[in-house]
Amino acid sequence: MPKWITKPFARPYVAGETSEEALLQVKAINERGFSATIDILGEHVANKDKARNITSQYCDLYRLIDECQLDCNISIKPTHVGLFISLAEAMVNITSILKHAKDYNNFLRLDMENSPYTDQTFEIFKHCKSIYENVGVVVQSYLHRSLEDVKQLSAVDFNARICKGIYQEAEANAFQGSEEIKENFITLARALATKGAYAGYATHDQDLIDQLLAWIESEKIPSDKFEFQVLYGVPMAGRLEELKNKGYKIRVYVPFGPDWFDYSVRRLKENPNIAGYVIKNMFKNE
């Protein structure tokens, strides 16, 4: 697929190719009253030197975020910084990133990728947690195993982003129906709240947001125990402002980097519906 075809799909959802461009977008997000998390695009890196270069860029991002006084933390994909090579390589690189998170009193989120990496990602998370408490992970509501993972990992200081999951997974590993995935999302939210953990509700599904709000209000879930999270550039028809005005925290996930092309092609292959979604939004005001 040539870049000229993919770029219109990527442009609204990628915050530039450089850290300077991305941090300018983060500043604008902060000025709207929202928090941010930043991610360098890329995954499944097979070269040690490249993985270590990406690691160095993440370390430097913590310095830049601190210098610019931004309300922003960092999310990383473990296979981007070594897990595709080996668990040992990922441990070394992520520990280095974590040291910078600690030095700048910031937060690090480990993104969750497809299921061959789930156990190793949780192993890395436990290692990180033994070094620095201000670290979190992701659980995917389409995986059958996620509720048990939450039960095993949850503690008062546990911090998890709940998302539906984007990777193609076999029926043996994952729910296939959208309603099942949404139901499990709510189940995971309830489980985290019961444990006193902090949750990031990462979804653009307006019906799911309505269900979460109804549960939050009925159970009087404290607003300092959760936040809503969305992807940069995805239109939400004023919903973010509405949530902010209700006193809820909003965090925008901001991806950037020169690997936007490979990232976009993979996303389109994994979920062809994205193309229709983007086209619809490109022409919604025509």
pLDDT value at residue 283: 44
- Residues acting as catalytic residues: 111, 161
What is the domain extent for residue 118?
Answer: 3-282
pLDDT at 201 exceeding the cut of 50: yes
**Mean pLDDT across the stretch 264-268?**
60
> pLDDT tens, 128-140?
999 999 999 999 9
Q: Is 50 in contact with 258 (CB distance < 8 Å)?
A: no
User: What tokens does 160 get?
Assistant: 């998890």
> pLDDT tens, 26-62?
999 999 999 999 999 999 999 999 999 999 999 999 9
pLDDT value at residue 268: 59
pLDDT value at residue 197: 95
User: What tokens does 175 get?
Assistant: 């729910």
**Mean pLDDT across the stretch 180-206?**
96
Strands (E), 16-95: 35-40, 72-76
Overall number of domains in the chain? 1
- pTM reported for the whole predicted model: 0.89
3-state secondary structure 224-275: HHEEEEEECCCCCCCHHHHHHHCCCCEEEEEEECCCHHHHHHHHHHHCCHHH
How many Å apart are CA 161 and CA 165, to the nearest integer?
Answer: 11
pLDDT value at residue 10: 62
Q: Is 286 helix (H, G, I), strand (E, B) or coil?
A: coil
Domain of 14: which CATH number? 3.20.20.220
Tell me which DSSP letter residue 126 carries: H
pLDDT at 259 exceeding the cut of 60: yes
Average pLDDT, the chain: 90
Q: Is 161 left (phi over 0), alpha (psi -120 to 50) or beta?
A: beta
Tell me which DSSP letter residue 177 carries: S
Q: Is 151 in contact with 191 (CB distance < 8 Å)?
A: yes
Residues in the chain: 286
pLDDT value at residue 8: 57
Question: Which neighbouring-strand residues pair with 231?
Answer: 253
Q: Quick one: which of 102, 96, 154, 104 has its CA closest to 124?
A: 96
